[in-house]
Chains A and B, each alone.
Chain A
Amino acid sequence: MALDVPTLSDQRRRGVRRTALVLGFIAAAFYVGFMAMMIWRGSR
């Protein structure tokens, strides 16, 4: 899909990428980790 948004400076683009990756990692770790931990504890 065409990305119809104004362009950002490289510095801002790096900031966006860094924050998004950190938050994405935290959310994914919570999302998968919580379920994995519960299932692991429940299966012992």
Chain B
Amino acid sequence: MNRPQSEYISGEPWQTCYAQLAPKLLLFARQWVGSVADAEDVVQTAFVKFWRHQPDAGPEHYPLLYSAVRSTALDLLRADSRRGRREQFVATDPDEPFFDPTIEHRENSDLIHTALQQLPESQREVLVLRIWGDLTFAEIATALGGSINTVASRYRYALDALRRILKPHEYERA
């Protein structure tokens, strides 16, 4: 596999991948595990597992990282459930936002964080991968194991639902 030299600027291929995807993978993990600390554990486990098995992975394989994060997060939830201490999905916590709180859209980020939690899981994960993961519908279908048509329709439903949820807050005027 020939990759452009720019991919190796940061050193090892995994470092380049990490620099590009770490915040996106963390956001994706937090769709299942509430706290940042647990989400980082999930990302670490999935990331290490992926790169140990595919040390020469290129960007075309990156969608599978999201799949690894998803299955690791679900494994963690199952384990917690078996131990009888599964937490409810985290409520909006201003101390652990989904998005960078230092940017100018702080108020909107809190609104969207809350709105995202009201979406069905199947729609939310597609929306997160499409908007903040920058994946195509085909890549999302690979990551989640569905058809492209299903992914596309879930994305449309998610966008519509999100707009309806945000409308009372007049998000569009922000």
A, B bound: no
Q: Which B residues have a C-beta under 8 Å from some C-beta of A?
A: none
Q: Which A residues have a C-beta under 8 Å from some C-beta of B?
A: none
